Structure 1
Amino acid sequence: MTFSLKLWGVRGSTPTPGPSTLRYGGETTSFEIRAGDDIVLIDCGSGARNLGGELHARPPRAFDMFFTHTHLDHICGLPFFTPAYDDRFAIKAWAGHLAGSSCLMDIICRIMSPPIFPVAANSLRAVSFASFRPGGPLPRDGEIALSTVALSHPGGATGYRLEHGGKSICIITDHEHGDPEIDRAVRRFVEGADVMIYDAMFTDEEYPRFTGWGHSTWQKGVELALEAGVARPVLFHHDPRRSDDALDAIAEQAARRHPGALVGREGMVLTP
């Protein structure tokens, strides 16, 4: 049974269509993880529109959708995710960062209400919403086991570790390094992972101008991978200003430091 991860959107903050982002892609965060018939989606940024079209063309099914957090670039695809409107599907949407201050349905209602959007959130007939507190395993039906960790990001965020058949995929976005307690927890969480998606919004040179914005650097991602024995760090959440040529240069530097390092591309499929 193949365990795989597909990247449907790799850009951070806002979609960035245009000639300078053709090779790596301009859609925002959306992941599809599969093990046989079991599907887990993480985040529903603009990349989820194309993912939804592909899923909608297949036989209806049930699956889980987990949000790292609910900033707009991670949820803006949900109003355009066609399976969510089709009650032949059953989609359980989860968030772990809200800590009782709000609920996931409330957040979605904010972006799907006039005058912001013409279709109300209650039109998402296939979706039910749930919350959890990060920091341990999250029981679910299916082949893929899932555990969680709290990340450092304004308003909170959740990292995910997905495991199947002795292989593991970690999703660490959006996250800012620098809090010793959280950094230790994240290091333990990703220890020995086969694949680690990591928030590489900035470079070390840029980072001092953006301290507190909730993002990390590609250098910190590679460093974490080396320390924690991660086989394949995948640099992700690309700055919307970052061109394909600039990402090529980062890919070359990262691969020199860690032979397994990759820069995430839209459409990339990884098999641990």
Structure 2
Amino acid sequence: MKILRWSLALFALFFLLPLAISALLYQFNGVGTAWRTADRGSAGLLPAASQHRPAVVRVFAAPTVRWRGIFAVHSWLVIKPEGADSYTRYDYTAWGAPIRVNGFAADGRWFGRMPELVFAADGAEAARMIPAMQAAIADYAWANQGDYRVWPGPNSNTFVAAVLDAVPGLPAALPPNAIGKDFPHDGRWLRLTGSGTGLRLSLGGYAGLTLGWVEGVEVNLLGAVAGLDLRRPAVKLPGLGRIGMAPVATAQAGQAFSAQH
């Protein structure tokens, strides 16, 4: 009984309480109102592609539309090969063909919500990644109409996770509230993490455990993730996302990008 009480207490502390706080913040901030007419224009996070010759890779995430933003973010991928005069944005959505290309501004607000930079790479590093990413997008297993499932996946976060996984050793991890990121997009329930620094066990996306140097320690219950980043100290909580230091990959790439401007 003592083990059961401790388990329930930990579940309430690390899963129920963060989600309750996220719901209160949602109500307090008034987000989700008039979402159909909300701003989806550029948030100014990218330079004009025609004036920026180096290759670019970006992953952005922003709270999903309306009340679902309490629980999850929607993530997307932006690619620009070296010398290209435009960005290409890839989203995976529930309407139309699941893989949506340039449906929105590359760094656009997601129905009024400011995007969070999840991963950034520029120059030779980005150029090395892009061919593998483009191949993964072309070969994505869940690309047919009707394949999209909000929960537990495959959804927008499953798609981005699969593309990132296609680049061996890529030091990136999606936010803990990117529900669907742990869905086994390739059918493997036990596999190396995307960074290659650990292991991920996923029981169909409904539950799982991740242990990795880049990904940290993550416990997945019904798609909600709680955990710790030990490399760059941070707490990962359902609904609230990552609280603590920024991931090394994001910080280093962001500094390199800023240095070019």
Query: What TM-score, normalized by structure 1, do the two folds share?
Result: 0.33
- Higher relative contact order, structure no. (Cα contacts within 8 Å, ≥ 6 residues apart): 1
Query: What TM-score, normalized by structure 2, do the two folds share?
Result: 0.34
